[in-house]
Amino acid sequence: MVNLRIPGPIPVNDDILEAMGTPMINHRGAEFKEILYRTTDRLKKVFSTRNDVYIITGSGTSAMEAAVVNTLSPGDKAINATVGVFGNRFGIISERYGVDLVSLEFPFGSDVDLDILRNCLNANPDAKAVMVTHNETSTGVTNNLEAIASVVKKEYDKLILVDGISSVCSLPLETDEWELDVVATASQKGWMLPPGLAFISFSERAWEAHSQSNMPRFYLDMAEYKRYYEIGQPPFTPSVSCMFALDLALQQIIDEGMGSIFERHASIGRYTRDGITKLGLRIFPVSDSIASNTCTAVTVPEGLDGSKLMSKMREDHQVVLAGGQASLNGKIFRLGHMGTTKESDIQEALDALEIVLPEIGFRGT
Ligand code: PMP
């Protein structure tokens, strides 16, 4: 069997796949209404929020786009604190919609520096919002979102729009306590689900921003999701199959408890980094303290061919790794460990690496 070790989509357990095979139901009927309300209430528990949470049929990027088009207007200034490819995407989306973007870029492998962020907020007092990625999957770095949110909300009182796509349901995130206005995430990550759904939380302050926003929007207009939610329906035809899967996954998530889920991710993250280091490889983030517990990025040693490494892992050992994106192509590879990843899944990948590395010329450090 293939050991899919990319940072999403993640391997999905059989009971979830079976739930997806449930016969279709009327998405505007009583049965669906029950599923919609039950899953939304449970999503709120995972987001740790009393804010509205909506389910979008779309990938994570749809929820990022929703964050932008529902809170900002063309010409509004926004600061995008980015530490990688997905952070950059938040900037690209907002520029495409005419936002006056201040791109605050940190080197790949590092996290957001709070003093630099403060300087940027001081230099741009008219900025309406700050966008930030909680867990940057392209570099394997987790930002200290609690500290960032404290600066943005308590010190500067700006809107904060969060990409929590590879963090929510895997890493601790407190929507209400940290005053996060919009949090976007997607089903193919820690939720143990196939791709297809995105979830987004929306604070009262976000709703205020929505009432002032004149951004063009249709499919992603949160006002439509709110209006339809009140009658127990989604605004558009949803992925009914994914909703069956979500219903079951959330039952399992609530039964296990968030504390246990966070601890499992912390533990598998440590296990992965320890194993990588023991092989003589280096993790890509500049320090272990910011290394992600959902995705480990590993530096390809000087002189080695990263794509050869990945193809040998895939062809000879059925372990599928992810490469580096954009300027990191060939320079890093990434191993995902979200959802119910077991130590044995990671060990299998580490064992394969131990065989493949010398085959492609690695002589140790
Ligand atoms: N942001 C982050 C942090 C991600 O990990 C991803 C997916 N890898 C995305 C955004 C984009 O999500 P999607 O591919 O579901 O649109």
Pick 14-255's CATH classification: 3.20.20.70, 1.10.8.60, 3.40.640.10, 2.60.120.380: 3.40.640.10
Alpha carbons 176 and 228: distance in angstroms, whole number = 24
Report whether 141 contacts 285 (CB < 8 A).
yes
**Hey, which bits of the chain come out as E strands?**
3-4, 52-57, 77-82, 100-105, 129-133, 135-136, 141-142, 159-163, 182-186, 197-202, 282-283, 295-299, 319-320, 322-323, 332-336
User: What is the strand order of the sheet 295-299 is part of?
Assistant: 282-283, 295-299, 332-336, 322-323
Nearest atom within ligand 1 for CA of residue 167: 3
Nearest atom within ligand 1 for CA of residue 195: 15
- The tokens of 312 are what? 């040998």
- Output the CA 361–ligand 1 centroid distance in Å: 33
Portions of the chain given CATH number 3.40.640.10: 14-255
Pocket test for ligand 1, best of 56, 61, 191 (most atoms within 8 A of CB): 61
The ranges of the chain with pLDDT < 70 are: 365
**Res 338: pLDDT:** 97
Name the phi and psi angles at 296, rounded to 5. Answer: -100, 125
Portions of the chain given CATH number 3.90.1150.10: 3-8+257-359
**Res 243: pLDDT:** 98
**278 CB burial (10 A radius; 0-12, 13-18, 19+):** exposed
Give domain 3-8+257-359's CATH architecture: Alpha-Beta Complex (3.90)
Ligand 1 proximal residues by C-beta, below 6 Å? 8, 59-61, 86, 133, 135, 137, 163, 165-166, 186
pTM: 0.98
**Res 317: pLDDT:** 98
| Number of Cα atoms under 13 Å in the Cβ half of residue 193 | 31
Alpha carbons 144 and 162: distance in angstroms, whole number = 12
Mean pLDDT, the chain, whole residue set? 98
| Number of Cα atoms under 13 Å in the Cβ half of residue 5 | 30
- Output the CA 184–ligand 1 centroid distance in Å: 10
**Res 365: pLDDT:** 63
**Res 241: pLDDT:** 98
Nearest CA to ligand 1 atom 1: 86
**Res 1: pLDDT:** 87
Nearest atom within ligand 1 for CA of residue 62: 16
Angle formed at CA 286 by CA 358 and CA 339, multiple of 5 degrees:
75
Report whether 104 contacts 80 (CB < 8 A).
yes
